[in-house]
Structure 1
Amino acid sequence: MTSPDTASVPTAPAAPHSQVPLLLGAVFLAYLAQMTLNPIIAPLSREVGLAEWQIGVTISVAAVMIVLTSQFWGRRSQSWGRKPVLVLAFALAVVTMALFALTAFWGMNGMIGGTVLFLLFVLLRGIGFGTALAAVPPTAQAYIADVTPDEQARVKGMAGVGAVQGIAMIAGSVVGGVLSAFGLLTPLIVVPFLLLAGLSVVAFRLRREMSIELIEKPARVRPFDTRVWPFLVAGFGMFTALGFIQVITGFIVQDRLHLAAAQTGLVTGGALLAAGVGMVTAQAVIVPRSGWTPPTLLRVGGLTASAGFALLVFDLGAVALFAAILIIGLGLGTAMPGYTAGPTLLVRRDEQGGLAGLIGATTGLTFVVAPTLGTTLYGVWPTLPIIIGAAIMMLVTVFVWAHPRFRQVGALPTVP
């Protein structure tokens, strides 16, 4: 029997590295579709007559679905194979977001409204798209854990997933912001086509694994496993802090800069672009070149993000607002590979899919409460959710400096 902190199984069969770019491309297209919606979600809610808290609930429901389905998808990616999982996920995403665009059109033209409109938003953007999106990162992360033999390669691989998410944030901010100048409905029409492109990539380009590469019964990883829970706590805190401000960014931009709905979409796109630039800079430049271990990445990233949150608390004008969001992106972009790569170095190969799903579920769990609470608190006092996000980020930073799991390891041992 293995102890909680050690494990040993035969090494994985050799897997062709050519699959990694295709999986990263799938992650990019999935998140590009999601990020294209972000600049317009706040003004869209007001155009169709939904309250801020209703948009918060919609995002929270999507997070619930990620929590409920991430470990299922991660384990299935090891038993069914990456291709079937991603084809199913992208097909579901295409259908739900096409119907979401139609629903928004009806809402903007007064054909439906009130409770019916709210429930359709929750069903399509929340339940449907949330379930589909939950499959993508665990599938990519489990595969990267399979084909990377050591700590440095693992960190770089996980940083690659974060980097394409950051690039998607940049591209989605630009695409969503620019398209919103032609009307809020335009980005909604484009999103299903982006997802259709992702479906085409995985359906026609991604190969099926051989049977020897699959694992019949992938192991489940428990959230309180001593090998992984400190990393999960750190990740939970980071993404909770982010969740408090992510959904309200559009409201912050509109209210602090006194903008109309059409202008808000464009400027919010610029703000999210700043966050994406910070994230990509961290994961494409700082993380690969630094050679830092996962605990060091968490410490440096936590300090940086805390500084960004502290600056965002104050209404100092557009420049300070954009600078704060850029610094937050830089800090979280540095910390994220430490959160995702660290525990993968401590578990067996047959646990990688379950772990990837657990990481996805932990991230999703932060968005169950934070968006709804953040938008609700914003209605009480616009600065309050930012203050709470800053406090949480600072607590995370103290935790990763103080907890023995992070203090005692210089370089985490790789488990085959």
Structure 2
Amino acid sequence: MSTPHPDAGPRPQIGLLLGSVFLAYLGQMTLNPIIAPLSREVGLAEWQIGVTISAAAVMLVVTSQFWGRRSQSWGRKPVLVAAFGLATATMAAFALVAWLGMAGVLTGTALFVLFVLLRGIGFGSAIAAVPPTAQAYIADVTDDEPTRVKGMAGIGAVQGVAMVGGSVLGGLLAAVGLLVPLIAVPALLAAGLLLIAVRLRRETHTELVEQPPRISPLDTRVWPFLVAGFGMFTALGFIQVITGFVVQDRLGLDARATGLVTGGALLAAGVGMVLAQGVIVPRSGWAPPRLLRVGGMIALAGFVALIPDAGATLLFVAILLIGLGLGIATPGYTAGPSLLMRREEQGGLAGLIGATNGLTFVIAPTLGTALYGAWPPLPIVLGTIIMAIVVAFVLLHPRLREAR
């Protein structure tokens, strides 16, 4: 059992930090089930939605290290207040733009540019602050491997719960009308802003790190984990943005039904993630390398099962396995290198992990949607190949086998 770091104060606010992660991702996941049918309702092509998601990923890459280090030098509260304020404003504006698009007032290039600016650049910059801030905080108040792994799994678990809740909420609200979940998203983000502004305690000057160091991705303590994480999330990126299109095209659904069923598919992934990070990882006691190996193999099985067009049951099982596998592997990817870093390096490391995750979604969604337009199974096949390479890497690399 670890003792909280003295710099974290007598009562670490881990639950509150996890609550902020939950609300941020609940807002994002509520939007996910409707993004594919929404794009078709407003007349945007698949590749344009891919570019929008990729723009958000670019902002994750550009801003994650900045946010992670600022969470140690400015404090968690100023960073999260700024992030939730920006997220609320951009998604409120996005809802308005989407409504104008559905009404035919905004069309073509102007609509596409606003989608990229608001959902891509604005929201991407905001959401980039949340996971690094939470990860750096968890690393700051946990001292041993099992507690660190459980803490990082807690972040993933609330993301999984948010995926479940957002999938259900987005799907159900989409059955009423595509505009309804668009209104719900900024409301959820505003609730997060209020929670942080009222409840989160500011650190004292002595608890802050004046100049947190920037962490190099080539640092020998870090890069094997980054390679594994980059591969996992690249594989995921190829299928995540096309899930709505796969559901609609394979099952022959209209826009409203697609939103509902896509919500169910994302719910399956969320259930797998919650089961992995809320139950399996905390009880397993596995070290980070073993989490990477076991999770990678389960996720690979899910990717293989997703390739054939064999009906709704196999589709849902495949997505469940992908969520379960990545849910097991991700705490190994995030906790592993943090155990090798000093306290003042944790913000930079958390930001580097966030940037790596974002980098995987710069190219994969745009390329995935473009490949889907050429031949629907192609992005799934490519994601499967990448996941197989990741599994081979984590099984064979000596540094990952020895990491403690």
Normalised-by-shorter TM-score class: over 0.9
Show structure 2 runs of 5+ residues with no match: none
CA distance in 1, matches of 2:329, 2:10: 28
> Which of 77, 99, 103 pairs up with 1:83?
77
Instruction: Give the AA of the match of 1:262.
Output: R
Deviation at 1:238, TM superposition (A): 0.3
**2:373 corresponds to 1:376:** no
Q: How does 1:85-104 map to 2 (within 5 A)?
A: 85-104=79-98
- 1:100–1:12 distance in 2 versus 1, CA, 3 Å: same
CA distance in 2, matches of 1:123, 1:97: 11
> Which of 153, 157, 160 pairs up with 1:163?
157
> Which of 190, 203, 206 pairs up with 2:184?
190
> Which of 100, 124, 142 pairs up with 2:118?
124
CA distance in 1, matches of 2:132, 2:253: 38
CA distance in 1, matches of 2:157, 2:388: 24
Name the structure 2 match of 1:259: 253
Q: How does 1:18-167 map to 2 (within 5 A)?
A: 18-167=12-161
Instruction: Give the AA of the match of 2:261.
Output: V
Deviation at 1:14, TM superposition (A): 4.5
Residue by residue over 1:172-193, the C-alpha shift from the partner in whole angstroms, topping out at 9 and shown as x without a partner, is 0000000001110100001000
Name the structure 2 match of 1:300: 294
Deviation at 1:28, TM superposition (A): 0.2
Kept in 2, the 8 Å contact 1:61–1:368? The answer is yes
Name the structure 2 match of 1:337: 331
Kept in 2, the 8 Å contact 1:75–1:357? The answer is yes
Instruction: Give the AA of the match of 2:223.
Output: W
Name the structure 1 match of 2:276: 282
Kept in 1, the 8 Å contact 2:66–2:351? The answer is yes
CA distance in 2, matches of 1:32, 1:390: 27
- Residue 326 of structure 2 aligns to a residue whose secondary structure is helix
CA distance in 2, matches of 1:407, 1:137: 27
Residue by residue over 1:178-237, the C-alpha shift from the partner in whole angstroms, topping out at 9 and shown as x without a partner, is 000111010000100000000001100000011111000001100110000000000000
CA distance in 2, matches of 1:152, 1:353: 20
Name the structure 2 match of 1:3: none
**2:311 corresponds to 1:321:** no
Residue by residue over 1:277-333, the C-alpha shift from the partner in whole angstroms, topping out at 9 and shown as x without a partner, is 000000000000000000000000000000000000011110000000000000000
Instruction: Give the AA of the match of 1:61.
Output: A
Kept in 2, the 8 Å contact 1:15–1:147? The answer is no
CA distance in 2, matches of 1:16, 1:86: 21
- Residue 176 of structure 2 aligns to a residue whose secondary structure is coil
Name the structure 2 match of 1:225: 219
CA distance in 2, matches of 1:18, 1:226: 31
* TM-score where L is the length of structure 1: 0.95
- 1:367–1:152 distance in 2 versus 1, CA, 3 Å: same
Name the structure 1 match of 2:386: 392
Deviation at 1:17, TM superposition (A): 4.3
Show structure 1 runs of 5+ residues with no match: 1-10
Deviation at 1:400, TM superposition (A): 0.5
Instruction: Give the AA of the match of 1:346.
Output: L
Name the structure 1 match of 2:400: 406
- Residue 49 of structure 1 aligns to a residue whose secondary structure is coil
Residue by residue over 1:376-402, the C-alpha shift from the partner in whole angstroms, topping out at 9 and shown as x without a partner, is 000000000000001101100100111
How many aligned residue pairs are there?
400
CA RMSD, Structure 1 to Structure 2 (Å):
0.8
**2:356 corresponds to 1:362:** yes
- Residue 19 of structure 2 aligns to a residue whose secondary structure is helix
* TM-score where L is the length of structure 2: 0.98
Instruction: Give the AA of the match of 2:295.
Output: G
- Residue 97 of structure 2 aligns to a residue whose secondary structure is helix
Residue by residue over 1:318-358, the C-alpha shift from the partner in whole angstroms, topping out at 9 and shown as x without a partner, is 00000000000000000000000000000111100000000
Kept in 1, the 8 Å contact 2:276–2:324? The answer is yes
Deviation at 1:18, TM superposition (A): 3.9
CA distance in 1, matches of 2:223, 2:140: 21
Name the structure 2 match of 1:6: none
CA distance in 2, matches of 1:262, 1:195: 24
